[in-house]
Amino acid sequence: MLNISKKNPITENIDRYSSVKNLSNRPHYKILNKIILYTSIVGLLILFLPWTQNISGSGSVTTLKPDQRPQTIQSAIAGRIEKWYVQEGDFVRKGDTILFISEIKEDYFDPNLVQNTKSQVEAKKLAVQSYGGKVTSLAAQINAIENEKRLKLQQAQNKIRQSLLKVKSDSMDLEAVKTQIKIAQTQFNRSVTLNKEGLKPLTDVEEKRLKLQDVEAKIITQENKLLASKNELINAQVEINRINAEYTEKASKARGDQYTALSSQYDTEAQVNKLQNQYVNYQIRNGMYYIKAPQDGYVNRAIQSGIGETIKEGTQIVSIMPAKYDIAVETFVSPTDLPLVHKGEKVRVWFDGWPTVVFSGWPNMSYGTFGGRIVAVENFISPNGKFRVLIAPDKDEEPWPKQVSIGSGAQTLALLDNVPIWFEIWRKLNGFPPNYYQPKSETTKDKK
């Protein structure tokens, strides 16, 4: 049986062996203990080193300005491809012809369509001039009618004055005849009286009676003259009304013709404007048969190909990459990190295919990374569920490599607050977000 009821120390049994004594005397145990001690001290010191909090993102290389990005050229009109003037990879300048298309719509088949439309415009312009001349002649005719009317009215008014004077003269003559009758009656009565008294002969009485009868006959004639003069006055007044009615009708008719001519003139001018619009449209459409380069660049890819192929309006034909562009990087950050990203902040960028050694918390020690600054932050979420951030090169640091191609991948680190490493480890273990802060430059701008 085992002797476990008595005291039996292990050390007493081990110390009996020489191999055990040799193990306890080896020096590397002390060295290992020192290494562990020093490593623990260095690790503890490292925990207090500064660490730059950052937000990582992934994106691609793009251009800073929208007009410098790769674009496709579309056809503004429908047509049929007739001839290509470029091939893929060619360099084209602004205004260079890329291809020629022909017309496929029946409304524009006429090769002399522009010239015929121009002839129609010229004809309508002559029609406008003709209507203008007619309006001018009618205006002159209306003036002549008004002048003639004025002269006729003056003539009729003069006749009225003459009739008034004649009526007045006949009235005076009538009064004179009446006076003569009174005198002749008085003389006749006196002759009769004197004849009865024997002072006048009978012949004198008869003579006075003849004279009285003659004067009485004159008064009837004079009354007829007075009535005739009054009738002439009435006729002259009626003539004025007739002249007004006659020449008003003539002037109204001429004005009606003038308004008709003006209406035709305005309608023809509208037709001229419409034809001129068509003429300009046809000219512009003829220029659209030649598809030209909008800016200097390289022909990347021919989207449409072949000869005789028909294309519709807005069809993409070729893709062009501008020759001059300002490089930038578009990256995407998560919605939780968006409040920490501000315009003007510094960012570290490294490109796919470029030798890089990245220390996310120590940007100054990273190799192959390039400095950038945030120039735009999108306020609306992208289809990938993140927010787009545009980054431009930092002018205060080393320029970005020219060998980077548009569209290649890129990784970014947005630099935030400086904290100790132990705090960053503690934050990561607890899943806390980076420290929320506002950059000093932006805060100062807001205060202003």
Residue 281 CA to residue 42 CA, distance in Å, equals 80
Query: What is the per-residue pLDDT across 379-426, written as a single tens digit (0 to 9) for each?
Result: 888 888 889 999 999 888 888 888 888 888 898 887 776 777 787 777
Q: Whole domain around residue 192: which residue ranges? A: 113-287
Query: What's the mean pLDDT when you consider all of the chain?
Result: 81
Q: 331 near 58, Cβ under 8 Å?
A: yes
Q: 305 near 318, Cβ under 8 Å?
A: no
pLDDT value at residue 19: 62
**Do 92 and 159 share a domain, yes or no?**
no
Q: What b/e sequence results for 149-158 when a residue is b if at least 16 CB atoms lie within 10 Å of its CB, and e otherwise?
A: beebeeebee
**Do 237 and 339 share a domain, yes or no?**
no
Ranking 35-44, 192-201, 217-226, 347-356 by mean pLDDT, the lowest is 192-201
Q: Is residue 370 part of a domain?
A: yes
> Which of the 8 DSSP states describes residue 67?
G
Q: Domains in the chain: how many in total?
A: 3
What are the residues facing 55 on neighbouring strands?
Answer: 414
- Measured over the CA atoms of residue 14, residue 19, residue 24 and residue 30, the dihedral's sign is negative
pLDDT value at residue 367: 61
What is the pLDDT confidence band of residue 154, given thresholds at 50, 70 and 90?
A: confident
What is the pLDDT confidence band of residue 18, given thresholds at 50, 70 and 90?
A: low
Q: Is residue 173 part of a domain?
A: yes
pLDDT reading at 308 higher than 90: no
**Do 138 and 224 share a domain, yes or no?**
yes
Q: Is residue 38 part of a domain?
A: no
Query: What is the per-residue pLDDT across 181-223, written as a single tens digit (0 to 9) for each?
Result: 777 777 777 777 777 776 667 677 677 777 777 777 777 777 7
pTM for this one?
0.57
> How far, in Å, are 31, 187, 398, 404 from residue 375 at the CA level?
55, 135, 18, 20
> How far, in Å, are 49, 85, 255 from residue 46 at the CA level?
5, 66, 105
Q: Is residue 333 part of a domain?
A: yes
pLDDT reading at 100 higher than 90: yes
Residue 358 CA to residue 58 CA, distance in Å, equals 14
Residue 160 CA to residue 168 CA, distance in Å, equals 12
**Do 197 and 229 share a domain, yes or no?**
yes
Q: 390 near 376, Cβ under 8 Å?
A: yes
**Do 148 and 272 share a domain, yes or no?**
yes
Q: Is residue 43 part of a domain?
A: no
* Amino acid found at 240: I
Residue 184 CA to residue 7 CA, distance in Å, equals 205
Residue 128 CA to residue 262 CA, distance in Å, equals 10
What are the residues facing 420 on neighbouring strands?
Answer: 50
What is the pLDDT confidence band of residue 443, given thresholds at 50, 70 and 90?
A: very low
Residue 20 CA to residue 403 CA, distance in Å, equals 66
pLDDT value at residue 26: 61
**Do 274 and 132 share a domain, yes or no?**
yes
